[in-house]
Homo-oligomer: A and B are copies of this chain.
Amino acid sequence: MKVYLAGPDVFLPDGIEVGRQKLATCARYGLIGLFPLDNTVDPECFTASRDIFRGNETMMNDADAIIANLTPFRGPGADAGTVYELGYMAGRGKLCFGYCNDPAVYADRARRFTTVSEQDGRLVDAEGLTVEDFGLPDNLMMIHALELHGNPLVLPRERPADVWRDLSAFETCVRRAAQRLGAES
């Protein structure tokens, strides 16, 4: 069984090494991981971004499940590319797994980037836009997609020292994916 490994890991300077570790973890549980950086794309080519998209989409179509790294990326919430991929896989009826190395609820995460205050009984940011306040770690669409299309979001009890390289929550997802996909060795 194949699992697409989505996440902003691809943006790390050592993204290839992190991907290698993730693939090894999958293999230990009898799963084949598909990691975006395994696509061969010439970054200098003017169609590079389209080639990456096509490579990722082909991998997703080929996979039975997704494990999405939803750790906040450049803002209070998950990386947009990863979220797109989670939605795509849910739409295709694939099994959805996800983890996030920051257990803070969304309103607290938002407070790191904007002033959050109460207005007419709801939380709003500095622009006056509602801050979701359901006690969830991120936008409700992703949280409930995981719950209803696979497995609830996996969170560490405490934020690990290196949110980008700690793979404990990731491994929990792999274990559950292996159980659900019947691939346990």
Interface residues, chain A, CB within 8 Å of chain B? 8, 10-13, 15, 48-50, 52-54, 56, 73-81, 83-92, 110, 113-114, 119-120, 124-125, 128-130, 132, 134, 136, 138-145, 147-148, 164
- Asked if A84 and B83 sit within 8 Å, CB to CB, the answer is yes
Inter-chain contact B139/A81, CB cutoff 8 Å? yes
A141, B84: Cβ atoms under 8 Å?
A: yes
Q: A87-B85, A92-B92 are in contact. Are A79 and B49 (CB under 8 A)?
A: no
- Contact call A80/B49, Cβ cutoff below 8 A: no
Which of B49, B56, B87 contacts A136 (CB under 8 A)?
A: B49
> Known contacts A74-B110, A113-B75, A129-B11; is A80 also within 8 Å of B141 by CB?
yes
Inter-chain contacts of A56 with B (CB < 8 A) = 141
Is B74's CB under 8 angstroms from A114's CB?
Answer: yes
**Cα–Cα distance between A143 and B148 once the two chains are bound (Å):** 27
Nearest chain-B residue to A91 (Cβ)? Answer: B91
How distant is A41 from chain B, measured CB to nearest CB, in Å?
11
A129 / chain B contacts, CB cutoff of 8 Å: 8, 11-12, 73-74, 164
Contact pick for A53, options B49, B53, B80, B144, CB 8 Å: B144
- Indicate if the CB atoms of A80 and B81 lie closer than 8 Å: no
In the assembled complex, the Cα of A39 lies from the Cα of B148 at a distance in Å of: 19
Residue with the highest number of chain B CB atoms closer than 10 Å, among A15, A54, A74: A74
Contact partners of A8 in chain B: CB under 8 A: 129
> In the complex the two chains form, is A139's CB within 8 Å of B90's CB?
no
A130→B8 CA distance, assembly (Å):
9
* Distance to closest chain B CB from A29 (angstroms): 25
Known: A49-B143, A74-B110, A144-B50. A87 touches B91 (CB 8 A): yes
Known: A49-B140, A141-B56. A87 touches B76 (CB 8 A): no
